[in-house]
Amino acid sequence: MYFHSDPRIDDVVVERDFTLGDIPGILWTPASVSASASPILLGNQGGLDRMRARLAARARAAVESGFACATLELPGSGVREPLDAVDRARADLHRALAAGEPLDGIVDRLIPPLVDAAVPEFQALLDALYELPGIDGPAGTSGGITAIAVRLARVDPRIVCAVLFAGSLLPAATFDDARELTIPLHVLLQWDDEGNDRQAALDLFDAFGSAEKTLNANMGGHAGVPEHAGAAASAFFERHLR
């Protein structure tokens, strides 16, 4: 983990850009440290520069609760080498959705390769985070592409709780992963999300194997998650990462 620029610091958060191998990432830690901070892996949709402001706002809420947050650029996104097959699948998906055509196997060409590539990288990020001073304790994961987060939560026992978006357009493998999950889950759903099939999202919530899972559904579209839903997610992490 190589920190290649000066940190941005205010009263609450220290934000540092880093690279892990060739992969760009961002780390947010508390500006004043009294105890070690549990790490939360922040998921993203690809394109860290474009998403930085929104990620920083999510990270700030967690850092205010004493946690450390980190994220990595996704495979094929931002400045990383393109994944041509994934890009073709994404273009096909947008075309099919716009035309109202059946999606057939498009989701299976788009999502599983991303999951397979991204999950080991986020696990390597967790390895690197635990080597930093001041980061220790059980880990959480928050948001991003649901199929990646669900697989990550399934395969890495260091992750003890997860805040997830109830997405649709999921491959069958994600439902298999979901049924195997046992950690506490806090699942966000935007009731009128224009890019989300509500019933598929409810089916995913139903599939999660966890005995403790909460669905927090709010009005509005994809980018309209209300502030109080963020506060509820923070309360969830405080219950499970302390």
Question: Angle at Cα 146 formed by Cα 143 and Cα 149, nearest 5°?
Answer: 70
Fill in the DSSP letter of residue 74: P
Q: Cα 159 vs. chain centroid, distance in angstroms?
A: 12
From 137, 132, 207, 116, select the one nearest 168 (Cα to Cα): 207
When binding is defined by CB under 8 A, the residue of 160, 200, 202, 207 that contacts its own copies is 202
Q: How far is it, in rounded angstroms, from Cα 173 to Cα 164?
A: 16
Q: How far is it, in rounded angstroms, from Cα 21 to Cα 129?
A: 14
When binding is defined by CB under 8 A, the residue of 61, 96, 124, 217 that contacts its own copies is 217
Residue 226 as a binder of its own copies (CB under 8 A): the answer is yes
Q: Could you tell me the two tokens for 195?
A: 């890019």
CB of 223 to its own copies, least distance (A): 16
Q: Could you tell me the two tokens for 165?
A: 């978006």
Candidate ranges 58-66, 68-76, 169-177, 224-232; the one touching its own copies (CB under 8 A):
224-232
Binding mask 160-199 for its own copies (x = CB under 8 A): -----------------------------x-x--------
When binding is defined by CB under 8 A, the residue of 229, 230, 241, 242 that contacts its own copies is 229
Interface residues with its own copies (CB under 8 A) are 189, 191, 202, 205-206, 210-219, 226, 228-229, 231-232, 235-236, 239
